[in-house]
A and B are shown apart, each in its own frame.
Chain A
Amino acid sequence: QKEVEQDPGPLSVPEGAIVSLNCTYSNSAFQYFMWYRQYSRKGPELLMYTYSSGNKEDGRFTAQVDKSSKYISLFIRDSQPSDSATYLCAMSGAGGSYIPTFGRGTSLIVHP
């Protein structure tokens, strides 16, 4: 079992839909949780960062961490075609290490 599991998709939704992206993980020692967005033929860019459990909101994006279930989510409200990209979850902090462990990414397609 991989340390971080993420459904690769693709996930196809109509413009304006609420999108839910998820990752599960097995190492309960992770403390830092990140979401990256990667457009085709580009490097990833940090979208959201959360420390420990809880919610964090930034515009149309909300990140949730449930450490008891070892489950993290990214919600995108009012999705736009420009949100079409691959979304990577990442986590770190186990054993004091900042080396991130990435999920394999979920491909999201938002069609007009």
Chain B
Amino acid sequence: EAQVTQNPRYLITVTGKKLTVTCSQNMNHEYMSWYRQDPGLGLRQIYYSMNVEVTDKGDVPEGYKVSRKEKRNFPLILESPSPNQTSLYFCASSSEGLPEETQYFGPGTRLLVL
């Protein structure tokens, strides 16, 4: 089954404690991205990756890092989380990142930073 998986699904942490949210896809997609979803603000792209070792900033990259060492994985790293990073995070992938392509979204990771 084609899918994007994220772990963990729920996470409570404290300010400053580094964390990583993993994302993996099994569709051999070139393009992967991370979004955050906040009430009243909608979905906003954090980072995206066009291929292995190729990453670029989205609209709200501050406070986040990513890496793409393998095609299937695209982890999101919060080196020093702050309460304003409390949000619902989605990983997504598509074949080449073109607008007309279906983006497959993961189930989401709900993060609370105290």
A42: Cβ under 8 A from any B Cβ: yes
A98 touches B106 (CB 8 A): no
A49 touches B99 (CB 8 A): yes
**Measured CA separation A45–B94 after assembly (Å):** 12
Shortest C-beta distance, B76 to chain A (Å), equals 15
B48 touches A43 (CB 8 A): no
A35: Cβ under 8 A from any B Cβ: no
B105: Cβ under 8 A from any A Cβ: yes
Shortest C-beta distance, B43 to chain A (Å), equals 4
A43 touches B59 (CB 8 A): no
Shortest C-beta distance, A93 to chain B (Å), equals 7
Q: Chain A, interface size: which category?
A: 20 to 34
Q: Mask for B86-109, Cβ within 8 A of A = 1, else 0?
A: 000010100001111011011110
What residues of chain B lie closer than 8 Å to A24, measured between beta carbons?
none
B12: Cβ under 8 A from any A Cβ: no
Also in contact, A99 and B42, with CB within 8 A (given A34-B99, A41-B108) = no
What residues of chain B lie closer than 8 Å to A88, measured between beta carbons?
42-43
B interface residues (Cβ-Cβ under 8 A, vs A): 4, 39-45, 48, 58-59, 90, 92, 97-100, 102-103, 105-108
